[in-house]
Amino acid sequence: MAVPYHVLKVCGEVVFAARGSTIYSFNSSLECISAWKCDVKPKAVTGGWGAEPSPAAEGPPAKRRRVAADQAPAVEEGQAAPESETPEKGNRRKKGSNFVQKSKPSDRPFVQGLYNTSDGCHLVAITGSDKTIWVFEHDGAGHLTQLSQRMMPKRPCSLAITSDNKTILSADKFGDVFALPLIFSEDPSDLKDVTNSPSSAAATPNTNSRSSTPTTTSKKPFQPQANEFTIHTKRNLKALENQKLSLTLKNTGKLADANFEHTLLLGHVSMLTAVLVAARGPRQYIITADRDEHIRVSRGSMSQAHIIEGFCLGHDDFVSTMSIPAGRPEILVSGGGDDDLFVWDWAAGKLLSRTNILERVQKLVPETSRIAVRHLFTCRPQEAADGPTWVFAICERVPALFCYELKEGSLHHVQTIPTPGNPLDIDYLKPVASVSAPRILLAVDPDISGDGTGRGGPSLLVLSWEPASASGGWHLASGGSQGPSGDEEKKGEQEGEDEISNQELQRILYTTETLRKTIMDDE
Amino acid sequence: MVDSKKDKRQKREEYRAALHQDDTTELPRKKFYRQRAHANPFSDHQLIYPPSPDQMDWSLMYPAYVVEDDKPADSEDTAMAAPGAETEAQSSDELVSSTEPKRLSKEVEVADIGCGFGGLLIALAPVMPDTLILGLEIRVSVTQYVVDRIKALRAQNELAPESNPNSYNNIACLRANTMKFLPNFFRKFQLSRIFICFPDPHFKARKHKQRIVSPTLNSEYAYALRPGGIVYTITDVPDLHHWMVQHFDAHRSFERVSDEDQNADPCVAIMRTETEEGKKVERHSGQKYVACFRRLEDPPFEEAEAEAEAEKKVEE
Ligand SMILES: C[S@@+](CC[C@H](N)C(=O)[O-])C[C@H]1O[C@@H](n2cnc3c(N)ncnc32)[C@H](O)[C@@H]1O
């Protein structure tokens, strides 16, 4: 099954687009420059959350090797999941079998997110099933050098990079936000055991410099915490028994700690779906969104991130995406499982407006009864500083792009652009000398039907803004035929990415709707 | 087996229906409200909670404090009544009103997190007669027990006000998962006291994230508490005590209350003796460990080093 491009990041003149486990780079004419393939050694998977330098960037991408599913860190086993239906869960259930014949599709570390530093010098990627954060140096011309690979304790869902480009904030599936230095030395002598135990985390000021002294996890010999004197209830007695059991488990040594610096900054008791850094004047903030309808605003400095400044509350369903428009730093737009898009004055925690987007979807697909907003993307054409601020919305499995203009505190519908595929990601193409019109790059899954029959159509589309034409607005450039080209890109097709079944691909590509709660009956 | 289970459930329902029939002054009996010991705070329960504190309708829980205002209800906000605030006979239509929630003359100021069967609420009611106190409990039956208990106490008081220590109009209980939804109920700095009494120990290391005290949850308690406000903790499990002390000590929004201040606080004695768990520990002559923490003022906002940034820009 051909894997469509599903993650995009424009970095100056260079376009990065990920397909499966591979990140391709293109020039502005979408000619392929290079490809990097995520290649996790089985050892790196078993040996705790180690950082193994990978030669993948230099050598030809190796064919995917097998990774036995049951070698994944045991810490994930039986961990109470904060949500009921995630793609991972199915995966975890299967982990019981200790005989894995072949690389299971769900073990493929698909690229789930691409982020770049504001100076364009670094690209950061998350891969999904192996919970890894990758940092690359970018030469500005589309060539990547892998600097580090860090496997996180829990699956990262969203990243942000602080404004000083020194720290990565990783928001994970279990609700925590960790800070990691962007540049991470792999010199083993440099590796202090600075895994932050929950106990020391909140108190650990991390000044982003390696000379800081994060609290070291104290490795006290593990003792049962209850004894016969403390057992007053049957419940506690049972807990003691369980505890003795877990002591045995712990001594098998499977609960490895990550051996790189990562500081717990804040956390929700809910799966995090998005994290942003924001600023009001000299004040920095961290904004986090969760599956339980919350948007939280915390202070942004590493030593004050434990202070919650406020919340933006009003969503009735999960929040899955947020964006702060360029030029409007006081505004936050958010979306998720609700029928509406929300516009906030985030620092005041004030809802400014709600705009129904379900109705827009229904005009296109009348039988739609609910939507999952997959992605909100805001941009502002650079050539016009006072020009419009655009907000684009992608709804999961809806073959269209919804374009709004942000005016004051509300969204005004500009255009619904039907697309030959389900949009998966979007970015703004920087204007180049030859093209003056604003352009948008879109990654789509051409298989709208969902049964796999439509795969093979173009997956990268360019839209351009043609206000002067008869039907002014966004148009598919050159009839959408402007697909990517290049040998590297073609090679990917032959490298086993097609092995994946349609069902598996559906599960990896479409995860937003799974955030919706399936309420269990109490009592 | 199935039959007996059904039987029990039926009995329980009949009992509770009878209790709700009239304004009974009969105190509810615990055995009809038993429920499994634990509820997973991570899973999606059928919880009712307001999207934000502004949309919370407290009027059914604290009817004595409702301010009748003449302002026409024209807001589009949906108000939501708390679960367990009224009898089960109430239809769900009434729970979600289309008008702005009725305002109270005061806000809830004291929260008992994981209040269990409500002993602390009832003991605190006469001690702080002008303060609204709320118990939050995740287990449905246990919450219903407390709601029925408060209802009966209020009814008793109405019949014979002179012989009762308090009206019990200032206490209420609602079902909530505080680990997820505290900010849905309380605004920043709304609370002056938070009680965490005999929380579930969750001994297993991998269950520590389920503990009601953790570095990240402490930030939420700090958010809801006003500076100077107090978190009260008590447990009979020494290691849980150490855990709570360690995490509040380490959290820079809190400082430990001195033994002197702690002993002088009447709430501490009440918490030791009036919670159901406290009584249970007493019967087994077990130890009780108390620790209180004061919410500190937030430090000045640490701003990005504007100068350093500017310098860098010049260099570039
Ligand atoms: C051991 S009992 C103590 C009850 C009471 N505080 C006492 O001292 O008698 C702990 C209570 O916390 C409740 N609880 C646990 N997690 C909770 C949560 N996330 N939100 C609300 N209540 C919770 C449990 O259902 C249980 O009733």
* Span A361-387, pLDDT tens digits: 999 999 999 999 999 999 987 666 678
> Residues with Cβ < 8 Å from B133, sequence gap 6 or more?
B108, B109, B110, B111, B112, B121, B124, B125, B170, B171, B172
Tokens of B24: 């009974």
Ligand 1 centroid distance, CA of B195 (Å):
11
Residue A208 has pLDDT above 90, yes or no: no
Q: Which helix (H) or strand (E) holds A506?
A: helix A502-509
Give the atom of ligand 1 at the shortest distance from the alpha carbon of B115: 6
Cβ within 8 Å, pair B286-A230: yes
Q: In angstroms, what separates the C-alpha of A105 from chain B's closest C-alpha? A: 27
User: pLDDT tens, B241-296?
Assistant: 999 999 999 999 999 999 999 999 999 999 999 999 999 999 999 999 999 999 99
Mutate which of B30, B42, B47, B200 for ligand 1 pocket (most atoms within 8 A of beta carbon): B200
What is the mean predicted confidence (pLDDT) over A267-275? Answer: 97
Cβ within 8 Å, pair A315-B51: yes
> Residues with Cβ < 8 Å from B215, sequence gap 6 or more?
A198, A199, A201, A202, A203, A264, A267, A306, B247, B250, B251
Cβ within 8 Å, pair A224-B46: no
- Residue A491's alpha-carbon distances to A112, A124, B244, in angstroms, are 21, 23, 56
Tell me which amino acid residue B234 is.
I
Contacts of B237 in chain A (CB under 8 A): 225-226, 230, 236
Cβ within 8 Å, pair A282-B304: yes
Cβ within 8 Å, pair B203-A226: yes
The alpha carbon dihedral of A128, A129, A133, A135 has a sign of negative
DSSP A222: P
Contacts of A284 in chain B (CB under 8 A): 303-304
Ligand 1 centroid distance, CA of B38 (Å):
9
For chain A positions 268-307, those within 8 Å of chain B (CB to CB) are 268-270, 279, 281-284, 292-294, 296, 298-299, 301, 303-304, 306-307
> Residues with Cβ < 8 Å from A115, sequence gap 6 or more?
A9, A123, A124, A125, A159, A160, A161, A168
Ligand 1 centroid distance, CA of B213 (Å):
12
The Cα–Cα gap between A58 and A114 comes to 20
User: pLDDT tens, B88-147?
Assistant: 333 333 334 446 788 999 999 999 999 999 999 999 999 999 999 999 999 999 999 999
Pocket of ligand 1 (CB under 6 A): B 39, 41, 114-116, 119, 136-139, 142, 176-179, 197-200, 212, 275-278
Ligand 1 centroid distance, CA of B278 (Å):
13
Among candidates A404, A323, A335, which has minimal Cα distance to A371?
A335
Please name the member of A269, A299, A523 whose beta carbon is closest to the beta carbon of B217: A269
A310–chain B Cβ distance below 8 A for any pair: yes
Residues forming a β-bridge with A465: A474
Asked if B175 contacts B84 with a C-beta cutoff of 8 angstroms, the reply is yes
Tokens of A124: 């950061």
What is the mean predicted confidence (pLDDT) over B171-182? Answer: 96
Burial string for B46-80 (b: 16+ CB within 10 Å, else e) reads ebbbbbbbebbbbbbbbeebeeeeeeeeeeebbbb
What is the mean predicted confidence (pLDDT) over A301-326? Answer: 96
Q: What's the pLDDT score for residue B53?
A: 95
Instruction: State the CB neighbour count (10 A cutoff) for residue B315.
Output: 6
Contacts of B46 in chain A (CB under 8 A): 519-522
Residue B36 has pLDDT above 50, yes or no: yes
> Residues with Cβ < 8 Å from A422, sequence gap 6 or more?
A396, A397, A398, A399, A444, A445, A447, A448
Asked if A457 contacts A5 with a C-beta cutoff of 8 angstroms, the reply is no
Residue A213 has pLDDT above 60, yes or no: no
Interface confidence, given as ipTM, is 0.83
Among candidates B140, B130, B80, B127, which has minimal Cα distance to B106?
B130
Cβ within 8 Å, pair B203-A229: no
For chain A positions 44-83, those within 8 Å of chain B (CB to CB) are 75, 78-83
Tell me how many residue pairs between chain A and chain B have CB atoms under 8 A apart: 177
Among candidates A414, A418, A379, A422, which has minimal Cα distance to A398?
A422
Instruction: State the CB neighbour count (10 A cutoff) for residue B147.
Output: 26
Asked if B239 contacts B213 with a C-beta cutoff of 8 angstroms, the reply is no
Q: What's the pLDDT score for residue A382?
A: 64
Cβ within 8 Å, pair A264-B215: yes
Phi/psi for A515 (5° steps) reads -75, -20
Q: What's the pLDDT score for residue A252?
A: 31
Alpha-helix residue ranges (DSSP H) falling in A272-389: 358-364
What is the mean predicted confidence (pLDDT) over B238-242? Answer: 96
Q: Please tell me which residue, A257 or A94, carries the higher pLDDT value.
A: A257
Q: In angstroms, what separates the C-alpha of A519 from chain B's closest C-alpha? A: 6
The Cα–Cα gap between A271 and B77 comes to 27
Residue A99 has pLDDT above 60, yes or no: no
The Cα–Cα gap between A354 and A376 comes to 14
Asked if B257 contacts B230 with a C-beta cutoff of 8 angstroms, the reply is yes
Q: Which helix (H) or strand (E) holds A75?
A: none
Chain A residue nearest residue B278, CA to CA:
A232
User: pLDDT tens, A492-521?
Assistant: 554 555 578 889 899 999 999 999 988 665
Q: In angstroms, what separates the C-alpha of B207 from chain A's closest C-alpha? A: 8
Mean pLDDT score of chain A, rounded to an integer? 76
Residue B45 has pLDDT above 90, yes or no: no
- Rank A64-68, A96-100, A385-389, A401-405 by mean pLDDT and report only the highest: A401-405
Tell me which amino acid residue A128 is.
G
> Residues with Cβ < 8 Å from B219, sequence gap 6 or more?
A202, A266, A298, A306, A307, A308, B251, B253
Among candidates A95, A246, A112, which has minimal Cα distance to A172?
A112
Q: What's the pLDDT score for residue B88?
A: 39
Q: What's the pLDDT score for residue A351?
A: 97
Phi/psi for A416 (5° steps) reads -105, 120
The Cα–Cα gap between A472 and A475 comes to 8
pLDDT band at A184 (very low <50, low <70, confident <90, very high): confident
Tokens of A201: 């985390």
* Residue B200 a catalytic site member: yes
Q: What's the pLDDT score for residue B158?
A: 85
- Ligand 1, atom 27: nearest CA belongs to which residue? B116
In chain A, the N- to C-terminal Cα span, in Å, equals: 44
Put residue A194 in one of left, alpha, beta given phi > 0 → left and psi -120 to 50 → alpha: alpha
Catalytic residue among B200, B236, B259, B265: B200
- Ligand 1, atom 24: nearest CA belongs to which residue? B114
Ligand 1 centroid distance, CA of A410 (Å):
43
Tokens of A428: 């703004």
Alpha-helix residue ranges (DSSP H) falling in chain B: 2-21, 92-95, 119-124, 140-159, 178-185, 215-224, 238-250, 259-264, 266-274, 276-283, 306-315
Collapse the DSSP code of A365 into the 3-class scheme (helix H, G, I; strand E, B; otherwise coil) and give the result: coil
The Cα–Cα gap between A37 and A62 comes to 8
Residue B69 has pLDDT above 80, yes or no: no
Q: What's the pLDDT score for residue A498?
A: 57
- Residue B89's alpha-carbon distances to B11, B147, B198, in angstroms, are 17, 14, 33
The Cα–Cα gap between A217 and A255 comes to 14
Ligand 1 centroid distance, CA of B113 (Å):
7
Please name the member of A78, A282, A306 whose beta carbon is closest to the beta carbon of B303: A282
Q: Which helix (H) or strand (E) holds A345?
A: strand A340-345
| Of A106-110, B103-107, B208-212, minimum mean pLDDT range | A106-110
For chain A positions 150-209, those within 8 Å of chain B (CB to CB) are 163-164, 174-176, 198-203
Q: What's the pLDDT score for residue A201?
A: 37
Tokens of A320: 């899955």
Residues forming a β-bridge with A158: A171
Mean pLDDT score of chain B, rounded to an integer? 84
